[in-house]
Structure 1
Amino acid sequence: MRHNWPLLLTLTLSGCSAGAGFHQYIISKPSASSFESIGHFQHCFYDELDLGQCGFMSVASSGKLALIQDAPTGNLYFVYAESNEKLWVTDTFIGLVESALWNENDGIIRVKGNGFEKSFNIPQSS
């Protein structure tokens, strides 16, 4: 007997720890697309809190915050572990981030991507 039950559960396909309670998971969700019925989306988490779809994530060595590239917009933001406060760094897409070098002592993070390198000040949590 065949059942045509709707898919109600979100399935975690794979994931990895980025450190200090930050994680990235690829999640399967039903899709309205005519191309595929199941979409696969990378999400960033702090503990069990879903921070949303993300591309790149780098966690500071202190574990107090992470830099995340928002997947839908490509913009960058910092998120603080204790408060879950998001502080947006960019308001336009600068390119796909491939690496980040933290210098928490000087309050600077340097990000690199294909054809660009930018430095940003690390904001203090409010």
Structure 2
Amino acid sequence: MKKTLLLIVFSLGFISQVVSQEIPKNSQKASQELYDFHIRKKKANKLAGWITLVGGVAMIVGGYGINMSGGIVDGDSTNNNKGLWLSYLGGATTLASIPLFISAGKHKKKAKLQLQQGAIGLYDNVNYSGLSISFTF
């Protein structure tokens, strides 16, 4: 047992060193590249958020529809909990869309920051107003 555990620990340590990916140290990206990256991530997260939100609502409505068809409409009250699991799954899917929308908002803020720092995007000339005070001794 001890030999097997020791072998597994050493194997995992060896595999993590062999399979790991090396990140280049001088991977500085331009402001335009970072802006484009954050805009793509924002769009992808927002699309995934809307898909999970609409899918979750559709599952909730479908689950209630299955429950309604079982007893309320036609008077058959034998099994009114058929679609309950679908409604619960739809609720969980709807809640799973919240982090996707939050992530899209964060990427939007980061893209806006890159746009302000690099003066890139839609405008060629961006004028900033400012005030400067200098003291000479």
Q: Does the pair score TM above 0.5?
A: no
Greater share of helix? 2
Structure 1 or 2: more strand by fraction: 1
Question: For this structure pair, what is the TM-score category when the shorter chain's length is used for normalisation?
Answer: under 0.3
TM-score norm. by structure 2 comes to: 0.20
Structure with the larger RCO, 1 or 2 (CA within 8 Å, 6+ apart): 2
Superposition TM-score, scaled by structure 1 size = 0.21
